Amino acid sequence: MTVVYNESDADIRVLKDKTIGVIGYGNMGRPLALNLQDSGVRVVTTARTAETEAEAVADGIPFLSMEQVVRSAEILLLLLPDEEMAAIYLNQISPHLTRAHTLMFASGYNIAFNYIEPPSFVDVGLLAPRTFGEAARERYLNGQGFYSFVASHQDSSGKLWPTILALAKAVGSLRAGAVEVTIQQEVELDLFMQQAILPAVHHILTSAAKLLLSRGYPPEAAMMDLYVSGELNDYLDRRRIRGCCTRCVCRRSRGSLASLAAWNASAR
């Protein structure tokens, strides 16, 4: 049975005497670091450019060298791009790891495909937001929260799950819910979305735009109806909340019947 965690499942006091080292202050690193800081958690960070260093300092988050972050933080959130993570981990992180460390990944890619092989004496977990960084910050601030995947990959201490759930609560994810998966499942689902679903959606929209323009529809009207108006986004957002089968209540009867007919034809 699938386990979905919410705020009542976590105790943020688990992080009270811990320092969280956010490695990578970019698309996901900055929003999660700010969420942690606003939840009262002690955070330090490191980054690869002077620009991101200045941003961290302006945000009030202590900026340290990579080695200093690894040595001073018990929990490391590795939020670098997948393609850069392995080399940085091997050269700058792994030499300084101790039994006190917990490695937390936001993507299981490097673990699943063995680009990173943590030592047996550290804890290894996953906290993978199912949204992009700006949305994670916005939904923390408005109280909505965001969904995530969580996984325990290597529980050397026997105390990894309380840490994972405390982190998920501190970043705002448990307000929406965190689904327990394996790291392999997270990677495969993520790649499926990136390589199958999103390209298919892009292809549908661009093909529809080309068809409408070829038939003489005004470009402004065609683009407005396809995506600029936000109607498609609003439709999907409501289906996220209410479920796909209740969609007809949001449309006129004629449109609902046409949609049902198209769905039925595609299912044959």
Q: Where are the domains of the chain?
A: 4-181, 188-267
CA 164 and chain centroid, separation = 14
CB 44 within 8 A of CB 22: yes
Residue 234: predicted pLDDT: 84
User: Domain 4-181, CATH 3.40.50.720 — does that match?
Assistant: yes
Residue 261: predicted pLDDT: 59
Buried/exposed 138-147: b ≥16 CB within 10 Å, e otherwise: ebbeeeebbb
Residue 49: predicted pLDDT: 83
Instruction: List, for residues 87-138, the tens digit of each pLDDT value.
Output: 999 999 999 999 999 999 999 999 999 999 999 999 999 999 999 999 999 9
Q: For the chain, how long is the longest CA-to-CA vector? A: 67
Question: Which residue stretches of the chain have pLDDT < 50?
Answer: none
CA-CA distance, 163 to 245, in Å (whole number)?
A: 38
Residue 6: predicted pLDDT: 97
Residue 100: predicted pLDDT: 94
Alpha helices, H only, the chain: 29-38, 50-58, 66-72, 82-88, 109-112, 133-141, 160-170, 183-192, 198-214, 219-223, 231-242, 253-267
- Average pLDDT of the chain is 91
Instruction: List, for residues 10-36, the tens digit of each pLDDT value.
Output: 999 999 999 999 999 999 999 999 999
How many other C-beta atoms can be found within 10 angstroms of the C-beta atom of residue 27?
13
DSSP three-state, residue 23: strand
Residue type at 60? G
Residue 242: predicted pLDDT: 74
Look up tokens 């689902």; give the residue.
Answer: 189
Residue 50: predicted pLDDT: 82
SS (H, E, C) 85-148: HHHHHHHHHHHHCCCCCEEEECCCHHHHCCCCCCCCCCEEEEEEECCCHHHHHHHHHCCCCCEE
Residue 73: predicted pLDDT: 98
CA-CA distance, 171 to 38, in Å (whole number)?
A: 9
CA-CA distance, 234 to 38, in Å (whole number)?
A: 30
